[in-house]
Structure 1
């Protein structure tokens, strides 16, 4: 009897094409995983690059390292809208392949040269891949997922990025510099080869009038035959949605602003994403080593810098896994509110610890470590992934690409400014006030989520907009009779 359980679980996982959709989601998020490796690569490799006997022809200066950290977020400020238009014109699949190509070029530049200009140029090219990851991947995930697992697949975006961090942290600790470089380069190369066999999203195929291809792609995603009655109903729904979209005026910023409900959704999307990006998460990651170092003075916690980054990466990944498991049960709104509040409390505890200990008052060293771990976990478990899910669910196919592109550009600008302003801000205010300031950002984000962000789980776009208009009360509505409702 027990021997049959794995078969039953497998059959249940395959029911409705869940296995195929998860596989597709994993393939779509591999560029995000590799981008996470690229971002995390700098942490274990910086000491090697700055060493006199390191692999670089000459030791890399702190100024170059600073530009490497920030320049990655500069191209997406301007390329976000371009990438969104590219995805709408030529498809999500082509744009995802181009994203992997940019990652390959970025790694190859470093393989051939480790001079400062090459390191900075490599990260600038990676910025193009950043725009591709943050604009196209959430759209792809949303458009291949069934309603009942849309949130779980959407949360794979941040999970993959955090897995990339952890992989490169571990690889940097155990393998040579050259071996790590070849590993990082091989992943996007293999992804480009395998992803050629993956289908385009049914939504985009219907938009292009390729109904036969759309039906075949949807049949594979739902693990059924092209003649399935439910599949035919879903395709027809996609066709009706596309006809409705064509009957309306072409999507533009003017149409977005003039429609009060759509503009309200736009404001919500921008605010939740800005709250996520300015919550101080990057500062916590940058200061993790110092927190471990100061904690080791009063508790028996001695970890090498690489081991510290591995611990941080593992906590990030654990939080992302939790998010994927619970987002369909808790809903978007309360998971976002709860994790932003927990992040705020952690930031406040860190700020208070640094402020009090600066006055020569003893506090236990485990306190900042626990606060830091809670902050990283809560952020990965909801504060980071949920805004992407909410943003993809707040708009129709017409506006989704342009809004996602705009939000991506704003986020990139925020990250660029944070990474460049980190040291001046630290010297001006002190680390304690920096953490306290970010805690208030988190608390404001929590209040905004509770008061203004609608629950989007198991709701059609019409139902979400009815809540925004006040025509429907804010309460969760399950999918009726277990049927999936197509959402463009």
Structure 2
């Protein structure tokens, strides 16, 4: 372990090291939030003949600029889990940060359509890695009673990035904002070079002594502390069992009953969260506020609209970080998915009734939209990432995260590419009704099938999932 880190960070039993390390790990997601947030207020600027682009962007250019990130994210996301297990969490985080540096550098050099599309394609690397590598990294450096709160920092930092982008777009010149975007990953890259790998990955590489040193540093205790010895011994035991009975990851997932159930739960929660409509609201918030402005005095510039959305997201993320370890995953997931469903249902009803000529207050869709975005950020979205690290051992996390990420990015591509065409075919109120139904399905499924994972080990969670085994044990106990 790096001598500088061991000397100049907190010890004496405090866990500040975990908090500081977790913040550093999630800053690449803050930078990616700036990447995603930059485009929304800049679309009209890029299309303007007087804008910073040498050639005004066409509608087709904007379409590809918006969606190409998700195409490349699907391509690079497929091997991302394997690469994370092969080369380590730290190495892949450094590559993620480097790709962000390249993204901002390309835009500083050229803002022609081809250059921005290329930059957005490169952004597919952090688009996948931030949601595959970083959650695994966070989980493996967090104590069991902190992993929910620290895991929520992912969405919190991303939403800080969104809001920062919206604000910078409103007050800074384009070039100045691009330099600000470049500064964040550049600083993180050089700091991260001296940061440690996770204890679990080090054990997997046979570096047990170094793993003990890192775990002791994270907890602020001596390397001979009993808790350090106990947890490292458990990791070593699991690693030996895995090597003694080598199976492919997919064979384990398919053949082991509780693991397969955990996999299905992960996919259902992830896919329903992606199709709850939050992404569409982020992109088309201006359309909702424009319709609302027809019946109330709501005159906001496009930048002010996205800033309002960014602030609502950020508040939701802050609340999630504060309460996720108190409420538990299940209760938070149930309440927030239900709230999103109600908000989408109200939006659907408002657009349907106003479309028939019925007058309704304009504040209704604005409030409903804010409720959806707030609830998604306060629970539905962060929990969908936290549960992957809760439900799987370190041998499976990379592969499951990669597969779930591919499903998520595919759904994002479908929505961004074809939402407007679908609305033209079946009307916008039906699309919002679809999002509402998906959210209610997620709520009901969580109540019926999702086990509480707060402060529980993977083994404890799998015992709950293996109902057949529990029934057999009960039968064997009968006289």
Please give the range of the TM-score, normalised by the shorter of the 2 chains. Answer: over 0.9
- TM-superposed deviation, 1:274: 0.4
Distance 2:119 2:470 in 1: 50
Tell me the equivalent position of 1:262: 259
Tell me the equivalent position of 2:332: 335
One of 437, 442, 455 as aligned partner of 1:458: 455
One of 210, 213, 218 as aligned partner of 1:216: 213
One of 66, 83, 86 as aligned partner of 2:83: 86
Tell me the equivalent position of 1:160: 157
Tell me the equivalent position of 2:383: 386
Tell me the equivalent position of 2:243: 246
107-116 or 96-105, which moves further after superposition? 107-116
Tell me the equivalent position of 2:95: 98
- TM-superposed deviation, 1:441: 0.6
253-262 or 182-191, which moves further after superposition? 253-262
Confirm or deny: 8 A CA contact 2:388 2:401 kept in the other structure: yes
**Deviations 1:393-443 (Å, cap 9, x if unpaired)?**
111122111111111111111111111011101111111111111100111
Distance 2:253 2:213 in 1: 33
One of 343, 347, 368 as aligned partner of 1:346: 343
Tell me the equivalent position of 1:200: 197
Distance 1:45 1:207 in 2: 45
One of 173, 177, 188 as aligned partner of 1:176: 173
Distance 2:220 2:265 in 1: 35
Distance 2:243 2:273 in 1: 34
Tell me the equivalent position of 1:326: 323
Please provide the CA RMSD for this pair: 1.5
- TM-superposed deviation, 1:472: 6.0
Tell me the equivalent position of 1:430: 427
Distance 2:39 2:187 in 1: 23
Answering whether residue 26 of structure 2 is matched by residue 25 of structure 1, we say no
Secondary structure (helix, strand or coil) at the match of 1:74 reads helix
One of 366, 372, 375 as aligned partner of 2:372: 375
Answering whether residue 416 of structure 2 is matched by residue 419 of structure 1, we say yes
- TM-superposed deviation, 1:112: 1.2
- TM-superposed deviation, 1:299: 2.3
Secondary structure (helix, strand or coil) at the match of 2:276 reads coil
Tell me the equivalent position of 2:278: 281
Gaps of at least 5 residues in structure 2 are 1-9, 472-479
Confirm or deny: 8 A CA contact 1:251 1:399 kept in the other structure: no
Map 1:401-420; keep pairs closer than 5 Å.
401-420=398-417
**Deviations 1:273-324 (Å, cap 9, x if unpaired)?**
0011111111111221122222223223222111111110010010011111
- TM-superposed deviation, 1:14: 8.2
Tell me the equivalent position of 1:469: 466
Structure 1 residues 184 and 224, CA gap change in structure 2 (3 angstroms): same
TM-score (norm 2): 0.94
Distance 2:426 2:318 in 1: 35
One of 295, 309, 325 as aligned partner of 1:298: 295
Secondary structure (helix, strand or coil) at the match of 1:178 reads helix
- TM-superposed deviation, 1:238: 2.1
Answering whether residue 126 of structure 2 is matched by residue 129 of structure 1, we say yes
TM-score (norm 1): 0.92
Confirm or deny: 8 A CA contact 2:11 2:217 kept in the other structure: no
Answering whether residue 233 of structure 2 is matched by residue 232 of structure 1, we say no
Secondary structure (helix, strand or coil) at the match of 1:56 reads coil
- May I ask how many residue pairs the two structures share in their alignment? 461
